[in-house]
Amino acid sequence: MKSKAFNYGKYSYRYYLSKENRKTISLVVKPDSTIVVKAPTNAKLEEIESFLKRKWSWMRKQMTYFEKYNRKKYCKEYVSGEGLFYLGRQYKLVIKRGDVELVKFSKGILELYTIKELRNSSHNRDLLKKWYEKRAREVFAERYKIVLFSFDYNFAPQLDIRKMNKRWGSFLSKKKIYLNPELVKSSKNCIDYVITHELCHMTHKKHGKDFNKLLNQKCSDWESRKERLELLATNF
Protein backbone atom coordinates (compact mmCIF):
# COMPACT_ATOMS: atom_id res chain seq x y z
CA MET A 1 0.00 0.00 0.00
CA LYS A 2 1.14 3.50 -0.80
CA SER A 3 0.93 6.41 1.63
CA LYS A 4 -0.84 9.46 0.25
CA ALA A 5 -1.42 13.00 1.53
CA PHE A 6 -4.85 14.60 1.34
CA ASN A 7 -5.92 18.13 2.26
CA TYR A 8 -9.50 19.15 2.94
CA GLY A 9 -10.16 22.64 4.25
CA LYS A 10 -8.02 23.21 7.32
CA TYR A 11 -7.38 19.49 7.72
CA SER A 12 -4.42 17.57 6.39
CA TYR A 13 -3.90 13.85 6.83
CA ARG A 14 -2.36 10.76 5.26
CA TYR A 15 -4.04 7.60 4.12
CA TYR A 16 -2.89 4.27 2.71
CA LEU A 17 -4.05 3.44 -0.80
CA SER A 18 -4.41 -0.12 -2.06
CA LYS A 19 -5.24 -0.71 -5.73
CA GLU A 20 -7.08 -4.00 -6.14
CA ASN A 21 -9.26 -6.01 -8.51
CA ARG A 22 -12.56 -4.53 -7.36
CA LYS A 23 -15.36 -2.38 -8.76
CA THR A 24 -15.86 0.22 -6.04
CA ILE A 25 -13.84 2.41 -3.68
CA SER A 26 -14.00 1.63 0.03
CA LEU A 27 -12.78 3.42 3.12
CA VAL A 28 -11.77 1.96 6.48
CA VAL A 29 -10.69 3.83 9.60
CA LYS A 30 -8.84 1.42 11.89
CA PRO A 31 -8.89 1.62 15.70
CA ASP A 32 -5.42 3.25 15.69
CA SER A 33 -6.88 5.97 13.38
CA THR A 34 -5.03 4.61 10.34
CA ILE A 35 -7.00 5.41 7.18
CA VAL A 36 -7.05 2.76 4.43
CA VAL A 37 -8.60 3.32 1.01
CA LYS A 38 -9.13 0.42 -1.40
CA ALA A 39 -9.79 1.31 -5.02
CA PRO A 40 -10.05 -0.37 -8.44
CA THR A 41 -6.75 -0.71 -10.27
CA ASN A 42 -7.84 1.84 -12.89
CA ALA A 43 -9.20 4.44 -10.45
CA LYS A 44 -7.79 7.93 -10.92
CA LEU A 45 -6.51 10.03 -8.03
CA GLU A 46 -9.22 12.64 -8.72
CA GLU A 47 -11.92 9.98 -8.25
CA ILE A 48 -10.38 8.81 -4.98
CA GLU A 49 -10.08 12.31 -3.56
CA SER A 50 -13.66 13.10 -4.58
CA PHE A 51 -14.75 9.96 -2.74
CA LEU A 52 -12.81 11.02 0.35
CA LYS A 53 -14.48 14.44 0.34
CA ARG A 54 -17.92 12.82 0.25
CA LYS A 55 -16.94 10.55 3.15
CA TRP A 56 -15.28 13.30 5.19
CA SER A 57 -18.02 13.67 7.81
CA TRP A 58 -18.24 9.92 8.44
CA MET A 59 -14.47 9.57 8.58
CA ARG A 60 -14.10 12.35 11.16
CA LYS A 61 -16.76 10.72 13.34
CA GLN A 62 -14.90 7.40 13.20
CA MET A 63 -11.58 9.01 14.08
CA THR A 64 -13.13 10.98 16.94
CA TYR A 65 -14.74 7.82 18.29
CA PHE A 66 -11.49 5.85 18.27
CA GLU A 67 -9.53 8.73 19.79
CA LYS A 68 -12.08 8.94 22.61
CA TYR A 69 -12.09 5.18 23.10
CA ASN A 70 -8.32 4.85 23.15
CA ARG A 71 -8.08 7.48 25.87
CA LYS A 72 -10.40 5.39 28.03
CA LYS A 73 -8.79 2.05 27.26
CA TYR A 74 -7.24 0.38 30.28
CA CYS A 75 -5.43 -2.82 31.14
CA LYS A 76 -7.65 -5.55 32.50
CA GLU A 77 -7.21 -6.48 36.14
CA TYR A 78 -9.10 -9.81 35.91
CA VAL A 79 -11.37 -9.09 38.85
CA SER A 80 -15.12 -9.48 39.33
CA GLY A 81 -17.21 -7.06 37.31
CA GLU A 82 -14.97 -6.78 34.27
CA GLY A 83 -16.31 -7.62 30.83
CA LEU A 84 -14.67 -10.36 28.76
CA PHE A 85 -15.43 -11.38 25.18
CA TYR A 86 -16.11 -14.89 23.91
CA LEU A 87 -17.42 -15.72 20.43
CA GLY A 88 -18.32 -12.11 19.76
CA ARG A 89 -20.32 -11.51 22.93
CA GLN A 90 -19.28 -9.75 26.11
CA TYR A 91 -19.76 -11.52 29.43
CA LYS A 92 -19.43 -10.27 32.98
CA LEU A 93 -16.61 -11.93 34.91
CA VAL A 94 -17.49 -13.16 38.41
CA ILE A 95 -14.74 -14.66 40.55
CA LYS A 96 -15.61 -17.04 43.39
CA ARG A 97 -13.80 -19.18 45.91
CA GLY A 98 -13.76 -22.88 45.09
CA ASP A 99 -12.24 -26.20 46.10
CA VAL A 100 -11.19 -26.74 42.48
CA GLU A 101 -10.16 -24.21 39.87
CA LEU A 102 -12.32 -23.92 36.79
CA VAL A 103 -14.04 -21.47 34.44
CA LYS A 104 -17.62 -21.94 33.28
CA PHE A 105 -20.72 -20.15 32.01
CA SER A 106 -23.72 -19.68 34.25
CA LYS A 107 -26.79 -17.67 33.15
CA GLY A 108 -24.82 -15.38 30.85
CA ILE A 109 -22.01 -14.87 33.36
CA LEU A 110 -18.43 -16.12 33.06
CA GLU A 111 -17.62 -17.65 36.45
CA LEU A 112 -14.06 -18.31 37.57
CA TYR A 113 -13.48 -20.48 40.64
CA THR A 114 -10.10 -20.18 42.36
CA ILE A 115 -8.38 -21.59 45.45
CA LYS A 116 -6.33 -18.42 45.79
CA GLU A 117 -7.23 -14.84 46.73
CA LEU A 118 -10.11 -13.52 44.63
CA ARG A 119 -8.13 -10.45 43.54
CA ASN A 120 -5.00 -12.39 42.56
CA SER A 121 -4.95 -10.84 39.07
CA SER A 122 -2.00 -12.76 37.66
CA HIS A 123 -3.40 -16.13 38.75
CA ASN A 124 -6.88 -15.27 37.46
CA ARG A 125 -5.35 -14.21 34.15
CA ASP A 126 -3.48 -17.52 33.85
CA LEU A 127 -6.63 -19.54 34.56
CA LEU A 128 -8.56 -17.59 31.93
CA LYS A 129 -5.73 -17.95 29.42
CA LYS A 130 -5.82 -21.74 29.78
CA TRP A 131 -9.61 -21.74 29.44
CA TYR A 132 -9.52 -19.56 26.32
CA GLU A 133 -6.86 -21.77 24.72
CA LYS A 134 -8.89 -24.92 25.45
CA ARG A 135 -12.03 -23.36 24.00
CA ALA A 136 -10.05 -22.03 21.02
CA ARG A 137 -8.86 -25.52 20.09
CA GLU A 138 -12.39 -26.91 20.31
CA VAL A 139 -14.12 -24.06 18.45
CA PHE A 140 -11.42 -23.73 15.78
CA ALA A 141 -11.52 -27.48 15.06
CA GLU A 142 -15.29 -27.30 14.62
CA ARG A 143 -15.20 -24.23 12.35
CA TYR A 144 -12.20 -25.57 10.39
CA LYS A 145 -14.07 -28.73 9.49
CA ILE A 146 -17.07 -26.72 8.27
CA VAL A 147 -15.05 -24.21 6.22
CA LEU A 148 -12.74 -26.86 4.76
CA PHE A 149 -15.80 -28.66 3.35
CA SER A 150 -16.41 -25.69 1.01
CA PHE A 151 -13.02 -26.32 -0.64
CA ASP A 152 -12.27 -29.33 -2.84
CA TYR A 153 -8.78 -29.97 -1.50
CA ASN A 154 -7.57 -33.57 -1.29
CA PHE A 155 -5.24 -32.62 1.52
CA ALA A 156 -5.93 -30.72 4.74
CA PRO A 157 -3.16 -28.82 6.57
CA GLN A 158 -2.83 -29.49 10.27
CA LEU A 159 -4.57 -26.87 12.42
CA ASP A 160 -2.88 -25.45 15.51
CA ILE A 161 -2.91 -22.30 17.65
CA ARG A 162 -0.12 -19.82 18.15
CA LYS A 163 -0.07 -16.47 19.90
CA MET A 164 0.68 -13.76 17.32
CA ASN A 165 1.00 -10.05 18.01
CA LYS A 166 -0.26 -8.66 14.71
CA ARG A 167 -1.88 -11.55 12.85
CA TRP A 168 -5.05 -13.60 13.27
CA GLY A 169 -3.80 -16.50 11.21
CA SER A 170 -0.78 -17.88 9.39
CA PHE A 171 -0.33 -20.42 6.58
CA LEU A 172 2.80 -22.57 6.61
CA SER A 173 3.56 -24.07 3.16
CA LYS A 174 0.61 -26.48 2.90
CA LYS A 175 1.61 -28.23 6.11
CA LYS A 176 0.03 -26.26 8.89
CA ILE A 177 -2.37 -23.41 9.59
CA TYR A 178 -1.97 -21.42 12.79
CA LEU A 179 -4.78 -19.40 14.36
CA ASN A 180 -4.32 -16.81 17.07
CA PRO A 181 -6.10 -18.05 20.25
CA GLU A 182 -7.38 -14.48 20.76
CA LEU A 183 -9.59 -15.08 17.72
CA VAL A 184 -11.94 -17.17 19.86
CA LYS A 185 -13.14 -13.90 21.41
CA SER A 186 -14.65 -12.90 18.06
CA SER A 187 -17.80 -14.19 16.37
CA LYS A 188 -17.93 -17.47 14.44
CA ASN A 189 -18.41 -15.48 11.22
CA CYS A 190 -15.10 -13.71 11.82
CA ILE A 191 -13.36 -16.98 12.71
CA ASP A 192 -14.67 -18.53 9.48
CA TYR A 193 -13.33 -15.57 7.50
CA VAL A 194 -9.80 -16.01 8.91
CA ILE A 195 -9.86 -19.78 8.26
CA THR A 196 -11.11 -19.17 4.71
CA HIS A 197 -8.35 -16.62 4.13
CA GLU A 198 -5.67 -19.08 5.21
CA LEU A 199 -7.14 -21.96 3.21
CA CYS A 200 -7.09 -19.78 0.07
CA HIS A 201 -3.31 -19.73 0.45
CA MET A 202 -3.34 -23.43 -0.38
CA THR A 203 -4.05 -22.38 -3.96
CA HIS A 204 -2.47 -18.92 -4.08
CA LYS A 205 0.52 -18.31 -1.86
CA LYS A 206 0.61 -14.53 -2.32
CA HIS A 207 -2.11 -11.94 -2.02
CA GLY A 208 -3.08 -10.77 -5.47
CA LYS A 209 -5.79 -10.78 -8.13
CA ASP A 210 -6.24 -14.57 -8.17
CA PHE A 211 -6.15 -14.82 -4.38
CA ASN A 212 -8.83 -12.11 -4.01
CA LYS A 213 -10.98 -13.78 -6.65
CA LEU A 214 -10.93 -17.08 -4.76
CA LEU A 215 -11.54 -15.35 -1.41
CA ASN A 216 -14.54 -13.53 -2.90
CA GLN A 217 -15.91 -16.83 -4.18
CA LYS A 218 -15.58 -18.56 -0.82
CA CYS A 219 -16.54 -15.59 1.39
CA SER A 220 -18.24 -12.81 -0.57
CA ASP A 221 -18.64 -10.51 2.46
CA TRP A 222 -15.10 -11.02 3.77
CA GLU A 223 -14.38 -7.29 3.84
CA SER A 224 -17.23 -6.53 6.23
CA ARG A 225 -16.25 -9.51 8.40
CA LYS A 226 -12.67 -8.26 8.52
CA GLU A 227 -13.82 -4.80 9.54
CA ARG A 228 -16.04 -6.22 12.30
CA LEU A 229 -13.10 -8.29 13.57
CA GLU A 230 -10.82 -5.25 13.71
CA LEU A 231 -13.45 -3.17 15.53
CA LEU A 232 -14.25 -5.93 18.00
CA ALA A 233 -10.57 -6.54 18.71
CA THR A 234 -10.22 -3.08 20.26
CA ASN A 235 -12.24 -4.43 23.23
CA PHE A 236 -10.26 -7.65 23.76
CATH of the domain at 181: 3.30.2010.10
Same domain, yes or no, for 97 and 201?
Answer: yes
pTM, rounded to two decimals: 0.70
In this prediction, residue 2 carries a pLDDT of 80
> Is 117 inside a domain boundary?
yes
pLDDT of residue 64: 80
Give a yes or no: residue 78 inside a domain. Answer: no
Last residue of a domain, one of 17, 43, 72: 72
CA-nearest of 155, 161, 190, 194 to 175 is 155
Q: Using an 8 Å Cβ cutoff, are 114 and 101 in contact?
A: yes
Closest CA to 7 of 53, 45, 58, 59: 53
Please give the pLDDT value at position 151: 93
Are 10 and 117 found together in one domain?
no
Q: Which of 72, 91, 107 is the last residue of a domain?
A: 72
Q: What is the pLDDT of residue 190?
A: 95
Same-domain status, 101 and 181: yes
pLDDT at 70: 60
Task: Mark whether 87 and 64 lie in a shared domain.
Answer: no
Q: In terms of domains, do 62 and 103 share one?
A: no
How confident is the model at residue 73, as a pLDDT?
Answer: 54
Residue 27 belongs to a domain:
yes
Q: Residue 173: which domain range? A: 83-233
Q: What pLDDT score was predicted for residue 94? A: 96
In a shared domain, residues 223 and 109: yes
User: What pLDDT, on a 0 to 100 scale, did the predictor assign at position 168?
Assistant: 94
pLDDT at residue 74 in the model: 57
In a domain, 170, yes or no: yes
**Do 114 and 224 fall into the same domain?**
yes
SS (H, E, C) the chain: CEEEEEEECCEEEEEEEEEECCCCCEEEECCCCCEEEEEECCCCHHHHHHHHHHCHHHHHHHHHHHHHHHHHCCCCCCCCCCEEEECCEEEEEEEEECCCCEEEEECCEEEEEECCCCCCHHHHHHHHHHHHHHHHHHHHHHHHHHHHCCCCCCCCCEEEECCCCCCCEEEECCCEEEECHHHHHCCHHHHHHHHHHHHHCCCCCCCCHHHHHHHHHHCCCHHHHHHHHHHHHCCC
The answer on 127 and 15 residing in a single domain is: no
Same domain, 144 and 52: no
For every one of its 236 residues, what pLDDT tens digit does the chain have, with 9 covering 90 and above? 788 888 887 778 888 899 988 889 999 888 777 889 999 999 999 999 999 989 888 888 888 877 766 655 557 899 999 999 999 999 999 999 999 999 998 888 999 999 999 999 999 999 999 999 999 999 999 999 999 999 988 888 999 999 998 889 999 877 899 999 999 999 999 999 999 999 999 999 888 889 999 999 999 999 888 888 887 776 66
Do the domain assignments include residue 223? yes
Does 173 lie in the same domain as 124? yes
Which of 72, 107, 124 corresponds to the end of one domain? 72
The answer to whether residue 77 is domain-embedded is no
Does residue 115 sit in the same domain as residue 214?
yes
Q: Is 154 part of a structural domain of the chain?
A: yes
Q: Is residue 217 part of a domain?
A: yes
Structural domain tally of the chain?
2
